[in-house]
Structure 1
Amino acid sequence: MEERTQLLEERLQKADADFQLAYRENLDMSWIYHDSALEGVVYTFQELKTAIDPNAAITADSGMQPVCEEIRRHREALHFIRDYAVRRRLPITVDVVKKIYVTLHPEEGDVKTVRYRKDIPQHRLYFHEYAPPDKINYKVRQVIDWVNDPETRRTRTGVRVAARAHYDLLRVFPFQLDSGKVARLFMNLLLLRSGYPPSIVHSTERQRYYEALKGSSQTMTSIVQEAIENNLASVEKLLDGYESRNVRPTG
C-alpha cells in the first residue's frame, strides 16, 4: 500500500498545476464533507466551495458565515496534520491531540488551557461506553504511550496502529465537542506520517462505523483499511482519465 501511495504521488507531481490544485481542493472538500456527515452535519457543495475558495467574499450578515467558518477551521486542521506528519522529528504527544481540537474550536482556548469534558453528554450520536470524566486524562495519555511504544511499532502495521489509536481515543471521548473529528484527524496524522494516504470514512458507512465503536477494534481496522483502498482506487481512476486525455501522439 505504501508503494502504491508513493507511485500515485509521483504521478500527481507530473500533472499540470491546474489539475493538482483542483485535485487537492476536491480532496479537501470530500474529506470535510464525509468527516462532518459522520457527525450528522451535512454541508452543501456551495457551502464547501465558498468556504474553500480564497477569492469568495462572504458578507458579515450572510447566513453562510458560521458554516464557512466551521469548514475553514476543519481545513486548517487538515493543514495542521499534514504539516505535522511530514516533520517526522516532532513527537506524538497529548498536546498534538489538544492542538487538533483547539484548531477546530479556537474558542475553547489553547493547548495549555483547554479542558476535557466534565460530564457524560446526554444527547449524543455515539452510543458506545464513554470514559468517566475523572479517567480521561489518564486514558488519553495511555493511548499516546501505546502509540509511542517501540513494541507497538514493531508488531503492527501503520494502518493497525492508526486505526487502533483512533478507536481507543474515540472510546475515551475526551472533548465535549467533535471528539469524533479529533480522533479521525489524529488517526490520519499517524497514517500520513507512516506513508499512507488518509482514511476518509464515507458517510454511507456511518451506521457500520458507529457499530464498530461498540464492537471490536478489528472491525474498525477493516473500515479504516477499506477507506484507504477506496481513496487510492478513486485517485488512480482520476489520474488514468487525466493521463489518457493528455497523451501526446508520437511520430
Structure 2
Amino acid sequence: MSSSSKRRIIMRNRATLIEALERYRRKFLKQEKAERYFSERVLMAWVFHDNLLEGRTFRPEEIQIALRHQDQQLPSYLRPLLEDVRRYEQAIEMTCVWAQEGLSSFNLSNLQELHRHLMFHEPQEGARLRRNSPVHRDYQQVICNHRQVSTRLQQFFIEALNFNIQTDDVLSYAAHLHHQLMHIYPYRRQPGALARLFTNQFLIMHGYPPIILASHERGTYYEALAAHNCASLAQLFYQAAWRYLDSIDSEQVVKKKLSFSTPHQQAQIG
C-alpha cells in the first residue's frame, strides 16, 4: 500500500471518529444534567485501567463489589482495598460533577482539591507544589523547573479556556493539555492519575466521552509523555476514543447514579 493510500485511510478514520464523537456529544447534551452518568461497566474499566497504569492492581470482581458496597462478600482484611476503589470512584465523580458546572470549575482550586482527595493516605502531600525537580522512576518526560510551576499552571488554565469547539480538534487539544500538565508536574505524588482525571473533566465538560487508556498501553503512554510534542499521545487518545464508542451501550450514558451528590439527591437514588 502506498504512503498516500495510508494517509487517506488515516484521515478517513479520523473523520469517521470525529463524526462519531459529535453524535455522542449531541446525544449527551440533549440529556438532562441529572441523567449524565456513566455505567457501572464504564466505571469499572476506568478504575481498573487508570490504577493499573500506576502499578496499582484491583481485580474486576473487587471493583464491582466495592462499587456495589457488597463488602461482606470479601474477607475483612480486604476492606481497605475496597475503600481505595471507592475513593478513586469518588475522584471520578468529583470531576464529573465539576464538568457539569462548566468552564468555571476547570480551575486551580479544583485541581488542588482533587489532588488532596487522591492523597488521602499522605495528607501532608496533598496539593503541595513540588520544591525540586525529581526524576520519577516511571515518568521520564522533561519537567519544568520547580520555580516555574505556579506560572505554568496559570498559563495551563488560560490555554484550556481558549479551546474553541468549532475549530479545534478536541482529542488533540486534550492530549496537548495532558502533555503540558505532565510537563508542569505540579505535585510529586499521583501526577499521572491527577492529569488523566483532569483531562477527562475537560472532555466531559465539553460533552465528549472520557479517555480511558488501556493498561497494556502503559509503556507507550510513558513514551508519548516523554516525546517532545503531543502527537503520539493524541494517537493514543484517538484509539481510546474508538474503544469507548465501540463498547458503550446504545444509551451511551447511564443508569447508575453517582454517590458524589447532595443528601437530597442521594435520598432520590434507588
- TM (norm. structure 1) is 0.78
Shift in Å at residue 178 of structure 1? 0.9
2:204 alignment partner in structure 1: 192
Give runs of aligned pairs for residues 87-236 of structure 1, distance below 5 A: 87-88=101-102, 90-106=104-120, 114-122=127-135, 124-149=137-162, 155-215=167-227, 216-235=229-248
Q: Which amino acid aligns with 1:124?
A: R
Listed as ranges, the gaps of 5+ residues in structure 2 are 1-19, 252-270
Give runs of aligned pairs for residues 34-113 of structure 1, distance below 5 A: 34-57=49-72, 62-88=76-102, 90-106=104-120
- Does 1:3 find its partner at 2:22? yes
Counterparts of 1:195 and 1:203 in 2: how far apart (Å)?
Answer: 25
Shift in Å at residue 187 of structure 1? 0.7
Counterparts of 2:110 and 2:245 in 1: how far apart (Å)?
Answer: 27
Alignment: residue pair count: 229
Counterparts of 1:143 and 1:89 in 2: how far apart (Å)?
Answer: 14
Q: Deviations over 1:72-129 (max 9, x none)?
A: 111001111111111226342111211221222245659xx83112334455211112
Q: Deviations over 1:51-83 (max 9, x none)?
A: 212242489x93323322221111001111111
Counterparts of 1:143 and 1:184 in 2: how far apart (Å)?
Answer: 15
Q: Which amino acid aligns with 2:162?
A: D
Q: Deviations over 1:155-185 (max 9, x none)?
A: 5232222221111101221112111011011
Q: Is the 8 A contact 2:71 2:82 kept in 1?
A: no
Give the counterpart of 1:25 among 40, 46, 53.
40
Listed as ranges, the gaps of 5+ residues in structure 1 are 14-19, 241-251
Question: 1:65–1:138: structure 2 CA closer, same or farther, 3 Å change rule?
Answer: farther
Runs of 4+ displaced beyond 4 Å: 6-10, 107-110, 152-155
